[in-house]
Amino acid sequence: MAGAYIGRNGRTGSGLERAISLSCDATSWSSDTGAAGLGVPVSVWPLGSGSVLSGCLVEAFSQAGDLVVSTIVAEADAFVNADHRVLVLCPARQVPIVEQVWARASASVRSLLRVEAVTAQNLGTRLVSLTSSVGLLLVDHRRCAGEGFWLAAADAIRLGGLLAVVCTSPDPLVHAALTTGVRERGWRYIQHIVATTSTELDTEVTASTTRPAIPGQVHRRAHRDVFLFSPIEDAGEVSR
């Protein structure tokens, strides 16, 4: 299967422009139905050995020097070699984990990395304090519950920036909750990425290929879903 991943290598433009470019250039095998019934491209990113999803998203959708904010602690090591300012927001008990991962980085790199303790209750407040400065916001789908998160994230992201929601749940109802009604929240749903971590694709991806499914075959879940969103800058567009 052809890969949809496009690196930064010499490319310029905002994360939104790159998402549009990627969706046009990539091999798409399906589409979601987004706001107003519009098809949202679905692309497959085969992650090779040693590839980290957060690192790939940063490389594809941000530029050197951008502020990247992430709540995905398990992939904090992806930022050690990145040329970005990085802020990881996580529960207090996970702060030492991130600090230990980053301890091997050079002093110059560590000066670009910061980790802060937040709770579910004050995450939104911290995002609002970053007003219009975030080029890419990476969050676990469990952080997106409630209208307050979406409002705070829209305040934090700069013009042309993106929100990438990484979802590990296979439940289609969870996916629908993330992507339905986004325009009313003040967002555009612009792309769905299927990030595979195995040469053997799981049921959901296999079912979209031309090879018929084998009845009773059990698949190991081998992908994560990434939903990309951009804030709507024109308030009038939200109501249309």
Residue 103 in domain = yes
pLDDT per residue, tens digit, the chain (240 aa), is 333 323 333 434 555 555 544 443 444 444 455 443 346 778 888 877 677 899 999 999 998 889 999 999 999 999 987 688 999 999 999 999 999 999 988 898 899 999 999 999 999 999 999 999 999 999 999 988 778 999 999 999 999 999 999 998 888 899 898 998 888 889 999 999 998 875 554 444 444 443 444 444 444 456 789 999 999 986 555 545
102: CATH: 3.40.50.150
Helices (H), 28-133: 53-61, 95-102, 107-110, 123-128
Give CA–CA dist 6/102, Å, rounded. Answer: 26
Residue 4 in domain = no
Residue 212 in domain = no
Give CA–CA dist 220/124, Å, rounded. Answer: 35
Give CA–CA dist 39/49, Å, rounded. Answer: 31
The burial class, CB within 10 Å (0-12 / 13-18 / 19+), for 2 is exposed
Residue 209 in domain = no
Q: What is the pLDDT of residue 170?
A: 84
Q: What is the pTM of this model?
A: 0.76
Hey, what's the torsion of the CAs at 43, 48, 52, 56, to 10 degrees? -50
Residue 208 in domain = no
Residue 87 in domain = yes
Dihedral class, residue 97 (left if φ above 0, else alpha if ψ from -120 to 50, else beta): alpha
Give CA–CA dist 190/19, Å, rounded. Answer: 8
Structural domain of residue 152, as residue ranges?
15-202+221-234
Q: What is the pLDDT of residue 22?
A: 45
Total domains, the chain: 1
Give CB contacts under 8 A, 24+ apart, made by 77-85. Answer: 77/52, 77/101, 78/52, 78/53, 78/54, 79/54, 79/55, 79/113, 80/104, 80/105, 80/109, 80/113, 81/109, 82/55, 82/58, 83/112, 84/58, 84/112, 84/135, 85/112, 85/114
Q: What is the pLDDT of residue 169?
A: 87
Which stretch of DSSP H or E encloses residue 193? strand 187-196
Q: What is the pLDDT of residue 181?
A: 87
Residue 213 in domain = no
Which stretch of DSSP H or E encloses residue 15? helix 15-25
What is the 3-state composition of the chain as percent helix, strand, coil, each rounded to the nearest 5? 35, 30, 35
Residue 94 in domain = yes
Phi/psi at 145 (5° precision): -70, 135
